[in-house]
Amino acid sequence: MTHPSAELARYVSELDIESIPQPVLRRAEELLLDTLASILAGSHGRPVLSIAAYARAMGPAEGPAQDMAARRGTSPVFAAMVNAAATHMVEQDDVHNGSVFHPAAVVFPPAIATAQALGRSGRDLLAATVAGYEAGIRIGEFLGRTHYTIFHTTGTAGTLAAAVATGRLLGLDPAQMLHALGSAGTQAAGLWEFLRDGADSKQLHTAKAAADGMMAAWLARDGFTGASRILEGPQGMAAGMSRDADPARLTDGLGTRWALLETSFKYHASCRHTHPAADALLALVTEHDLHIEDIGDVVAHVHQGAIDVLGPVVDPVSVHQSKFCMGVVLGLIARHRRAGLPEFDEALSDPAIADFRQRVSMRLDPEIDAAYPRRWIGKVTVRTRDGRSLESRVDTPKGDPDNTLSRAEIEDKALRLGCYQGAATQEEVARLIAQVWGLADCERVGWFL
């Protein structure tokens, strides 16, 4: 079989770690640390605690995989489910611009849980991570922009990414891997409708993508079969859930292009769609030394996807929802020159932010929209109280591959996230950092913390 799904399955099944360039493996370690820290920061979130309670009610009381939120052992699927819910809770995990997909939240939790349960090596975990990223990102790109207008790609493409990462650690051959893709794709789900209510579904989407993809891979190892063309077939994902799917994207540059290197670290603690404008405003207020009271109104010039996702959030009532509100995000930048976790915790009770966000609007910008999703350009126009009209533009948001974080910055971010709301101590996070930087030499992936 030579169709795109089969080619992709063969590639990720046969990928040899020796063929993966060193910078890709090092970036995979950095992404792992960013993920573990995100899990800690998210572990106290109410939706995460609900999912953890469900795991406790339905899963075994102990097991070989680590539920990092509850710091207990359980079976791999419940560890993956809870950790994936936690990863995405505080919106600080990574994003791939071209596919508008958050790979870490759905790749690492099932890969870690499976590696722990089977006693696989650090190198095996890194190879599985790379396989999951390379497949998931291409599947997200394949599904296209029309898919993303309704479906949460991290939930849908994420189910297949989780299956690939898990399948690598289970040693699936190409045929089994194709079955795993089939069983994952037919479970793929996640709708944006929840944003209108500020509901908890985002945590459910990452939790279920991780768990369902894992199930697909475990079933495939046992001989359970799936559709061979779940992605591009006439009754497959693209047929049902996209109008601009491009099968060529599924195998784009396999073996030469490393999509994992294209992911961005999140710098602000908000939806990625707010970051370009936030960076542009940060540059502007810094350059002109403006304070929140100096600003009359702000127009954020954005791509259509930002309007689709952020547009429904007109009156945020929760911390989580406020991370999807352009007005709150720009308000925090104007007020604190930061939009981190502590700033968001105070945002909704701050009258200055409530006032400011009424004066922020989004406007579709043809140039930005045409460049998206390959490039996420940020532009803002600020009218000051004293009558000036100022403009600012950022071509590459902070954290993007061309403007990435150093290992020191990543460690600093990990410390801030890991210690958020007392999830871990500074000493624990320091040990975690050392453990991750030494992962490639680790014979068996043990528990973290």
Contact residues for a copy of itself, defined by CB under 8 A: 46-47, 50-51, 53-54, 57-61, 75-78, 149-151, 155, 179, 182-183, 185-201, 204-205, 208, 212, 215, 218-219, 222-230, 233-237, 239-241, 312
Q: In the complex with a copy of itself, which residue's Cβ is closer, 197 or 287?
A: 197
Q: In the complex with a copy of itself, which residue's Cβ is closer, 47 or 122?
A: 47
Q: Minimum CB separation from a copy of itself for residue 398, in Å?
A: 29
Q: Which residues contact 131 (CB under 8 A, 6 or more apart)?
A: 12, 15, 164, 165, 168
Find, among 81, 90, 103, 9, the residue nearest to 45 by Cα: 90
Sign (positive/negative) of CA torsion 62, 225, 231, 147?
negative
Nearest-angstrom CA–CA distance, 77 and 72: 13
Q: Minimum CB separation from a copy of itself for residue 216, in Å?
A: 8
Q: In the complex with a copy of itself, which residue's Cβ is closer, 74 or 263?
A: 74
Q: Which residues contact 234 (CB under 8 A, 6 or more apart)?
A: none
Q: Minimum CB separation from a copy of itself for residue 149, in Å?
A: 8
Beta bridge mates, 295: 384
Sign (positive/negative) of CA torsion 278, 283, 288, 291?
positive
3-class secondary structure, 112: helix
Q: Minimum CB separation from a copy of itself for residue 177, in Å?
A: 14
Q: In the complex with a copy of itself, which residue's Cβ is closer, 99 or 206?
A: 206
12 close to 137: Cβ distance less than 8 angstroms: no
Nearest-angstrom CA–CA distance, 160 and 134: 11
R_g of the chain, CA atoms, integer Å: 21
Q: Minimum CB separation from a copy of itself for residue 411, in Å?
A: 34
Q: In the complex with a copy of itself, which residue's Cβ is closer, 59 or 132?
A: 59
3-class secondary structure, 429: helix
DSSP state of 420: G
Q: In the complex with a copy of itself, which residue's Cβ is closer, 211 or 330?
A: 211
Q: Minimum CB separation from a copy of itself for residue 186, in Å?
A: 5
Q: Minimum CB separation from a copy of itself for residue 438, in Å?
A: 30
Q: Minimum CB separation from a copy of itself for residue 125, in Å?
A: 20
Q: In the complex with a copy of itself, which residue's Cβ is closer, 118 or 261?
A: 118
Length of the chain: 449
Q: Minimum CB separation from a copy of itself for residue 164, in Å?
A: 17
Residue pointed to by tokens 């768990």: 211
Q: In the complex with a copy of itself, which residue's Cβ is closer, 216 or 259?
A: 216
Nearest-angstrom CA–CA distance, 400 and 412: 17
39 close to 66: Cβ distance less than 8 angstroms: no
98 close to 142: Cβ distance less than 8 angstroms: no
Q: In the complex with a copy of itself, which residue's Cβ is closer, 302 or 439?
A: 302
Nearest-angstrom CA–CA distance, 53 and 69: 11
Give DSSP secondary structure letters for 129-141: HHHHHHHHHHHHH
Nearest-angstrom CA–CA distance, 96 and 207: 19
Tokens of 178: 């194709």
Q: Minimum CB separation from a copy of itself for residue 331, in Å?
A: 25
CB atoms within 10 A of CB 421: 14
Q: In the complex with a copy of itself, which residue's Cβ is closer, 312 or 401?
A: 312
Q: In the complex with a copy of itself, which residue's Cβ is closer, 208 or 357?
A: 208
Q: Minimum CB separation from a copy of itself for residue 141, in Å?
A: 19
